Structure formats: C-alpha cells, structure tokens
Structure 1
Amino acid sequence: MKFTYTLILVIFAVLNLSAQGNRFIYEYQFRIDSTKTDSLKKEFVNLDIFPTKSYFYGQARFAEDSINNASIIEQRKSTPNSISTSSYTEEWNIQYYIEKFYPDFKINWFTNIEQTHMIVEEKPVIKWNIFPETKKIENYNCQKATTKFGGRTWEAWFSKDLPFPDGPYKFYGLPGLIVKLEDKTKSHQFLLKGNKKLMPENHSWDYITALQKEAKNEFEEVKVSPAQYKKLFMSYKNDPAKDIKLDLANPNNSMTVNTGDGKKLTNNAEIIKYFEESLARKYKLENNQLELNLHRK
C-alpha cells in the first residue's frame, strides 16, 4: 500500500508549526552477541525532531559528552596545558548519533571504528508495506507496517496521532511516527516511552557540537559512503590492533597499559599482543549489529 507525497507535505506543514521541536524517548533493547539469546541490554535514546532535521542519539553518551566538554572549557581557562577527562563508556553502548535532513531524508551517521571517526553520508531507500491491522501501543492508535533494512526484516507500528514521518535510528517514511519497531529475531527493539515539547533550555545534539567547538575538542571526521564504511570495518575486524601498531611504530610514542587482571604492560610487543587478543574477542562477541549487511561479508 502506498501513500502520496501530498500526505507527507501535510505532515511537514504540521511539523513546522512546532518550531522549537519535539523530543521522543525510546527504550532500546538489543542483543550484542547473537549466541546469547537471553542477553538483551537496555538503553534509552532520544529522537529530537525539528522543522528541518532530526537527531537520534543515546541519552547516556549525551550526558557524558556534555559533562566532559563543559569540563574541558573550564580547564582551558584555568590550566590550558593540563587537561583531563573521564570516560564511563561501559555505562552506554550507543556511541553514534544520526542526523536526518527534511524533506529528502538525507542522513549523516556520525560513528567510529576504534580511533577512526567518520560521517557516513547516505540516503537509504526504505520501502514499507502497510497493513490494515491496528492496535493500541503505549496509549497510541497504531497501524502495522513491515520492511527489509540492513539485512533484517522489520515490523513497525506507527501512529497518525503523531504526525511525523520519522522514527528511531535511520527509519523514516511512514504517515506517522514509529511507536514500536523490532526485527524478526527480536534482538533489536525500540518502544516509544515518552515525549515532550522542546524548550530552549532542553539541549539537543547541536549543543554538544557547540561545546566541542568551544572546548576545541572536535574529532577529525572522515566523510565516507556506506561501502567505504564496510570496507574499513572489515579491515579492522581482520587486524583490530592496527591503530595501536601505528602509534607504537612512532619512536616518540610510549604507552603503559594496565590490564584488567592487574598487570602493567610497557613492552611494545606485549602491548600489541594484548590489544590483538582483547580486540579480537570484542569483534567476535559484538556480532549482532543492527545493520548486518554493513558488518559481515
């Protein structure tokens, strides 16, 4: 079943009435290791919708980046030659953020593979099959739709009560906001848990970008296509410690590594071996990414 562009234009007319934006909060459950069927992790993510774009990002990383960049700004004022930051990455898993532009839904996916930071520029074509089946989810009147994306089959429930043709992650294009979304294996599930109008004091990801510039803490990001991203991912999967090797190949660089079992490594060969083994385990365990087609041969 298809819907017309007239409907999309009407939706964007409604969207522009809310110039300050709307925040939709999703509970995201996902299984990192496909072999552990009972190992779903949970994280809350925001979809902030504005008249010309939207941002999708993890709440925990947003909070940490806000604190770290604000701290760097203050440290540069008082001790410009001595900067320290803290990281609690074990508390969040959504390391990327996604920027969608309206009305053509061009996407910038800001992500990284080890020490390489990238902007993956794309415009995914998502073809939906819309069904007459309806039900109530989280107090919204919802309708069923399905699609294939990222090497997975997805079932979505959207609500025309929320007139936004957007959704979590890179999904878009339905005549209403996606309230619930899950893949066929149920290893990636999004459920809308709340929403609110955004006020000027409710920061979105453009706030992080501004902080990074002020703190002079911007990453050098490389613009790549999805195909280039996949090629780079596979190269890291085959040689996960290559960044460490490059760093230690410079005679001016030295490194000390404290391992989880209390050992302190200073020998370059031992450090390289440690990272080769630990990162190889990481790539083996993190085998169930949302977009399978970008992370497998």
Structure 2
Amino acid sequence: MNFKFCFLLVLFAFLNFSAQGNRFTYEYQFRIDSTKTDSLKKEFVNLDILTTKSYFYGQASFASDSIMNNSIIQQRKSTPNHISYSSSSEDWNISYLIEKSYPGFKTTWFTNIEQTNMIVEETPVLKWNILPETQKIENYNCQKATVNFGGRIWEAWFSKDLPFPDGPYKFHGLPGLIVKLEDKTKSHQFLLKGNKKLKPEDHSWDYILALQKEAKHEFEGVKVSPAQYKKQYLSYKNDPAKDIKLDLADPHTTMTVTTESGAKLTSNPEIIKYFEESMAKKYKTNNNQLELNLHRK
C-alpha cells in the first residue's frame, strides 16, 4: 500500500470519526526573544477538527474575542452610534487563527500587522521524512517524522491511534495526529494535553467568526499571499509607527495616549515619539517567530 493511498484511507476514517468534531488541546511553549534562552513562555492552544476543516487558535484569545464580540453586538443594539471596548491582547501571544480546509489542506491564516487585518492564503506542501523510531507519549503510541518548514527543522511524533492527518499550527499530512512537535532549537514546542468530542455548547471558531461578522457587519481583512505578508511585515518593522502617523496626519483627529507609567500624552510629536520607541523595542525583542522566513529578509 503506497503512502498516498494509506493517507486517503486515514482521511476517510477521520471524516467519519469526527462527524461531530473533536477538540485537541496542546501546551505550547515558545521563546519570543532568541537572545533570552531561559525565557520560555507557555500558552494553551486548541485544534478543533470538524468534518470539512480545522481551526487552530489560542484559548485566551478565543475567550476574549467571544466576550468582546458579544459586547459589541449588545452595544450596537442599545447605542447604535457609539461603540467602545477594551482589549488586553498583551496577555497572550496566539491572537491569530489558522483554518485548514479538507481534503486539500488549503490554509487560511487570519492575522494582523498593527492596525491591518490580513488573510493569508496558501496551500503549504510539507515533505515529511517518516522514520522507524517509535515511543509512547502522553499514553499514545507515536512514530517520529521530520520536516523543514518555515526556516526551521522540525521533529514530530504522530499517532495512528488518532486517525487525523492534522496537527498544530499549519502542520498536517502525516498518517495520524501530531502529538508532539518541536523545532531543532526547542524555541517552539507543542505537546498534546487533552482531547474531547465537541458538543453544541463547546463553541468553535465558526461561532467566533459569525459573532465577528454580526458585530462588525462583515470581517474586514486584506487578502494577501505569504510573499505579500512578508513585504508588509518588513515595512512595519522599518517604520513601526506609520499607522499612528497616518492617523495623526488627519487634522480632525485627536488622540490621547496613556503610557504604562500613567502619563497622558496629547501632543502629536510626543505620541509619535512614544510609539516609535515602544514599537521599535517590540519588534526588536519579538525576533523568534515560528516561521522565520516570513519575518526576516
């Protein structure tokens, strides 16, 4: 039996097995700043596998977006011309959403660069090298595979006990769900920690996107290729405060910024200087993204 035929059988089993949907929760450890080798952060992420697609997202972002979108809907009903909300996106790092469509695994990455919402579409081809090594991980019988993706070398352990050719982030294409995944530098590590069958009350990102459309009337995002995303990212990296400058260029726009220390900035030069310095620092320390080839020259 060749690999392609075996993969199709696994996919067929997966589509039947997951008619109601399954949620797999991973512990994700990552290092944002490559110069701080002892500063791994931890976050829990979900992979919701449905009949025709899967969603990968951060648990904290999901909960916050659900509350925020519901709040916007209620405010729109009570005060149609005024919407106000606050967000604490600094509390987590996985604020994006990745949707994979079956069976071709077209990937749609909902993300943003500063004030620009972006929808990055691609169909990544992962050329896995499946190895004979096996071991038991989190009570699953797993087999090893490696792949070069995103400017990194990755080691994955997948399990045929879970008949899903999917995995965290954009990873997919193995004859079983990825249970453990890490890059060679151990800067990014995923480990499966739980799974359950989805029930109607266990909302998935279908629910979040529907709320978002209702709250904002439609999802506003610029559709781009990975190459276009990279060009935009490097542009912001070179001039991280350019959105603020554009906003303040409008003579009718006024802005008040409260800094971390509690100081209030109201003059345009002060505000621009503050954002140039703080955002330049953010781009400097956020230098170890999962896909290096999308964030470096």
**Normalised TM-score (structure 1):** 0.97
The one-letter code matched in structure 2 to 1:131 is L
Tell me if structure 1 keeps the 8 A contact 2:23–2:49. Answer: yes
Give, as a single letter, the amino acid of the residue that structure 1 aligns with 2:118. M
| Corresponding residue SS for 2:6 | helix
Equivalent residue letter for 1:10: L
Can you list the C-alpha shifts for 1:127-161, whole angstroms capped at 9, x where unaligned?
11111110000000000000110000100000000
Distance 1:215 1:109 in 2: 21
Asked if the contact 1:153/1:183 (under 8 Å) is kept, the reply is: yes
Instruction: Quote how far apart the aligned CAs of 1:80 are.
Output: 2.0
| Paired position in structure 1 for 2:29 | 29
Instruction: Give how far 1:218 is off.
Output: 4.5
Per-residue CA deviations over 1:173-228 (Å, capped at 9, x if unaligned) read 10100000000010100000000111122110010111112222644200000000
**Shift in Å, 1:262:** 2.4
Q: Which letter maps to 1:181? A: L
State the alpha-carbon separation in 1 of the partners of residues 15 and 260 from structure 2: 51
Q: Distance in 2 between matches of 1:290 and 1:153?
A: 11
Partner of 2:104: 104
User: Using a 3 Å threshold, how does the CA distance of structure 1 residues 183 and 105 change in structure 2: closer, same or farther?
Assistant: same
Q: After alignment, is 5-14 or 196-205 more displaced? A: 5-14
* Residue-pair matches, total: 296
Q: Counterparts in 2 of 1:175-214, with a 5 A limit? A: 175-214=175-214
Q: Distance in 2 between matches of 1:90 and 1:219?
A: 22
* TM-align CA RMSD: 1.2
Helix, strand or coil: the match of 1:95?
A: coil
2: CA distance between counterparts of 1:260 and 1:272?
16
The equivalent of 1:264 in structure 2 is 264
Task: Sort the Cα spacing of 1:59 and 1:40 in 2 relative to 1 into closer, same or farther, 3 A.
Answer: same
CA contact (8 A) 1:26 1:193 kept: yes
**Which range is displaced more, 11-20 or 121-130?**
11-20
In structure 1, runs of 5+ residues without a counterpart are: none
Secondary structure of the corresponding residue to residue 112 of structure 1: strand
AA paired with 1:185?
A: T
Which residue number in structure 1 is paired with residue 8 of structure 2? 9
Aligned 8 A contact 1:15 1:50 in 2: no
Structure 1 residues 69-218: aligned runs within 5 Å: 69-216=69-216, 218=218
Bigger drift between 103-112 and 211-220 goes to: 211-220
CA contact 2:213–2:219 (8 Å) conserved in 1: no
- Secondary structure at the counterpart of residue 174 of structure 1: coil
Change (3 A) 1:46 1:179: same
Name the aligned partner's letter for residue 280 of structure 1: A
Helix, strand or coil: the match of 1:51? coil
Instruction: Give the letter aligned to residue 82 of structure 1.
Output: H
Gaps of 5+ in 2: none
The code of the aligned residue for 2:148 comes to K
Q: Deviations over 1:58-106 (max 9, x none)?
A: 0000000000111111122222233221212122110111000111111
Large movers: runs of 4+ above 4 Å: none
Rounded to whole Å, the distance in 2 between the matches of 1:57 and 1:20 is: 19
- Normalised by the size of structure 2, how large is the TM-score? 0.97
Q: 1: CA distance between counterparts of 2:217 and 2:69?
A: 7
- Cα distance in 1 for residues equivalent to 2:27 and 2:128: 23
Q: Which amino acid aligns with 1:94?
A: I
